Amino acid sequence: MRPSLTLLLSSLLFTSAANADELRERANAIFKPIPDKVTEVRGQKVSEDQAVLGHKLWFDPRLSSSHVISCNTCHNLSIGGSDNVPTSIGHGWQKGPRNSPTVLNAVFNAAQFWDGRAKDLQEQAKGPVQASVEMNSTPERVVSTLKSIPAYAAEFKKAFPKDKDPVSFDNMAYALEAFEVTLTTPNSPFDRFLKGEDKALDDKQKQGLALFMDAGCSACHNGVNLGGQGYFPFGVIKRPGAEVLPVGDKGRFAVTNTASDEYVFRAAPLRNVALTPPYFHSGEVWELEEAVAIMGDSQLGRQLNKDEVSAITAFLHSVTGEQPQVDYPILPASTATTPKPE
């Protein structure tokens, strides 16, 4: 296939530092680099003691009633913060209804879950623990479990010194949020380009960046996280087939009960997207190139040709950042009063 006129023009655009500066200036008006460290959430300083506690809770399967499923089961930090299957396997081998979104950089999202039903990470942390299809536990069982383990009781007291009863379901969620705040991926090639390093992106990636902006992708996928800030219908121009957009999942409609929110979803954050197949809330698309083509057709009404898809995909590979280095913690032992697995 012959290169498109857009790509031919784009290839000429990046032959000088001045043109790279122009591209960078345009990009910096739409996107922002990931900061090296996040120190506050909702205006409050993140406590290191709370993050250390949250680190342990993240990997503790005893938060689930089966003692089998932890947060890391469906949001595996070694493979991009998701689980690389269409929908996660939860309690009793049940399959969840939607693809598991990555937790990496989730602190930058305006809301959590595909439908935005949780306003922040603390609220989000409570959902999977209680969902019957996921961890299938209750606040009472979680608190009973944590209080039965003296080492946890001591760590909660240290992390929440002002609380009379520090071991609580709310504090569990807050500690998990404090840990998740650390799960950012700075210094991607794209971030380095935004900061002034011309050679951080190759010419094809620069072409893809220009196309990403010019074709309209950045209208929904913008900001620090290249998405995660707004809600849009899946199928603005043309609704994809039922295998990609199941008719039974009406997205944000289940949250707002507003007809205009049928098949509306939060714009997926695209940071590290190359690490987190399969794609979309249905998890039915395994190749990033195919996902790009579907979005062009469904959201932009544009049949991207092979070269355009390839260039945009190359750009999306450039937004993979430095992955957080997280040790697997040694968890405190259960006691005779710890609730048994169900």
Binding region for heme c = 71, 74-75, 91, 217, 220-221, 295
Q: Where are the beta strands (DSSP E) in 9-155?
A: 40-41, 44-45
> Exposed, middle or buried: residue 49 (CB in 10 Å: 0-12, 13-18, 19+)?
middle
Catalytic (active site) residue 308: no
Local structure of 169: helix, strand or coil? helix
| Inter-residue contact 117 to 198 (CB < 8 Å) | no
Q: How far apart are CA 171 and CA 68, in angstroms?
A: 22
- In sequence order, the 6+-apart residues with CB closer than 8 A to the CB of 269 are 101, 102, 105, 106, 108, 109, 221, 225, 226, 227, 228
Q: Which helix (H) or strand (E) holds 266?
A: strand 264-266
- In sequence order, the 6+-apart residues with CB closer than 8 A to the CB of 160 are 50, 166, 171, 174
- Helices 150-159 and 139-147 cross at an angle (nearest 10°) of 100
Q: How far apart are CA 4 and CA 211, in angstroms?
A: 11
Secondary structure of 277-318 in HEC code, one letter for each residue: CCECCCCCECCHHHHHHHHHHHHHCCCCCHHHHHHHHHHHHC
Per the DSSP assignment, residues forming a β-bridge with 44 are 41
- Among candidate residues 22, 48, 123, 134, the one labeled active-site is 134
From the CB of residue 144, how many other CB atoms can be counted at a distance below 10 Å?
Answer: 14
| Inter-residue contact 285 to 291 (CB < 8 Å) | yes
- Helices 169-180 and 121-130 cross at an angle (nearest 10°) of 120
φ, ψ for residue 90 (rounded to 5)?
-115, -150
Residues annotated as catalytic are 134
